[in-house]
Structure 1
């Protein structure tokens, strides 16, 4: 296992004032970073225009924002949060447009460029399927068996991680065709492409899909990560596994932390995990080995994102539930940009 030799990092100026709920780099633009926060704002940064980056835009909401993602390019974004709304954001003007409203807080939002679909997941146990390019097409509502905790997407699949250890995998083409046929907002209950039970014994905290469209990883509140493949064949399913991580020996007691964040490297297919212990680790999911672990951050790791070229890793930290504190201490919410060396995130068997 290696340390952080050969890499460097810097802190982004003008960080959010409350806990970070998500962060993501723009597709095809390795310097545009979108951050959502419990301080009721979405932040757009240029991470490399000047030392410490530059805050390009700050979009205010009436309630905490739980996730934001880019749309078709770096000028468009979508957001979801505790105001129950799903918004489109014009990042050049800062103007927001409500696309749909759920009946409870909206936890996650993901955009599929291949199918021009926006999918939101709410604690009302529904998905909303939007066509953001077609304002005349109403959203379709997909009923879920339980409350969703996290979404992730590939070129062909949508993975929904839910309460009760439920995982649904949907075929995006089928969802697109189903949603395009409705003429008014309608609640549907389509059969997912696959239904699975989580490999993890405790509540899922995050899900992230492999960039090669082969599978996904999930993490739990109980210091574990599971790696699974989409292929339903018995041979492929015997490859799935779970492992312990983000644990410390404190006074001879094994202290377990939630694994809050997962992100796959877009080039090498390895992945990063971030935990309540303030640690970020890189893993080779195929070789089942830890590649490296970075020096501990001063607060819980809340969110992770690799840039589209794989050269930068954004790390959002903020005190987590494991600290038992409701009020966030000033200065503990930060966004770091780690510059990765050429081989830093390569798997053990990569050439």
Structure 2
């Protein structure tokens, strides 16, 4: 099947993107191991970076690039990081089951900060997300112990624990009134949906529309649905309401045609999906070292960018959507033995031009 109704060659030619203005974060301030997650502050131009080197790095973003501002250490590899809805607190989860929280209202002006550390799960914390309901902020933590827990941070006990049946691999939240949506992807390809106005139970469970293991889920900007990426080089667009099921679809991406046989394609994992905070368009990034911008409503690829020199493990848009951050590092798709010193660890900032993520003219928004 062609990408969004076009031939792959025609699509690539018409939508080729430019990386010449991308800014590299200086090597001396980068993590020493793979980058696992990125999170832009919702109120300031500050980027948090989680790494397998057991640290979180926090950069202040400016027109000229990024300046290292703070960092803190975990007890094991940091697998996830997220800012609170007001941008004042940062949470990170590590491979030992601990969550580390920094309140920047009381943090020093720069340098190393000491987080509050709490053991919250019996296995690695793979996902952290903040959400607001009833005018209060809560933290959600998803783990390989097969649970998602909700915390108000005023108690050592969670306000809710969801049994997800399998290891939690990915999780996202989005509030856009009247919806307050959480989506959870697990190891058995189940996808759970939670109404965060009632966070004590799973509202709906479906099997992933993709046939292979779920790698990432990401909520639409208007919280009406979510995108799913898998290890098979596919992305699915899925709406929450049953009345919108006719709008669901999936498409191939992050695949390369074999130079010898036109009937053979190399298939790469879709590692990251990020929605533009204002325009509703989205990005995919994968193990093939490329990223693309898409318009789901027009079923159209807006831009596709060339190979950046290594797998892209994490992506994030800035609060205004004018900067797209992407991390280049080993993504473990080939196992432990392939993680050699030659694998790059890079962090880049792509300035988003006015036409790169703009929806296709005349598209009917749903």
Task: Please say whether Structure 1 and Structure 2 have the same fold, judged by a TM-score greater than 0.5.
Answer: yes
**One of 308, 313, 317 as aligned partner of 1:306:** 317
Map of 2:221 onto structure 1: 211
1:33-182 map, 5 Å = 33-48=47-62, 51-91=64-104, 92-93=107-108, 94-114=113-133, 115-132=136-153, 134-135=154-155, 138-155=158-175, 156-175=180-199, 178=200
Instruction: Compute the displacement of 1:7 (Å).
Output: 7.3
SS of residue matched to 2:197: helix
Q: Which runs of 5+ in 2 are unaligned?
A: 1-13
Deviates more, 1:244-253 or 1:270-279: 244-253
Distance 2:19 2:346 in 1: 22
Instruction: Compute the displacement of 1:327 (Å).
Output: 3.1
1:198 aligns with 2:198: no
Distance 2:88 2:246 in 1: 43
Check the 8 A contact 1:318/1:333 in 2, yes or no: yes
Check the 8 A contact 2:329/2:343 in 1, yes or no: no
SS of residue matched to 1:28: coil
Q: Which runs of 5+ in 1 are unaligned?
A: 179-189
Distance 2:62 2:349 in 1: 10
Check the 8 A contact 1:7/1:339 in 2, yes or no: no
Distance 1:79 1:261 in 2: 18
Deviates more, 1:85-94 or 1:222-231: 85-94
Q: Which has the higher contact order (CA 8 A, sep 6+)?
A: 1
Distance 1:333 1:74 in 2: 27
SS of residue matched to 1:102: coil
**One of 240, 243, 267 as aligned partner of 2:251:** 243
Aligned residues: 332
Map of 2:242 onto structure 1: 232
Check the 8 A contact 1:287/1:349 in 2, yes or no: no
Cα 1:240/1:72, change in 2 over 3 Å: closer
Question: Residues 146-203 of structure 1: CA distance to partner in whole angstroms, max 9, x if unpaired?
Answer: 111100101101101112211110010111xx4xxxxxxxxxxx3x221111100000
**One of 340, 345, 350 as aligned partner of 2:357:** 345
SS of residue matched to 1:8: coil
SS of residue matched to 2:209: coil
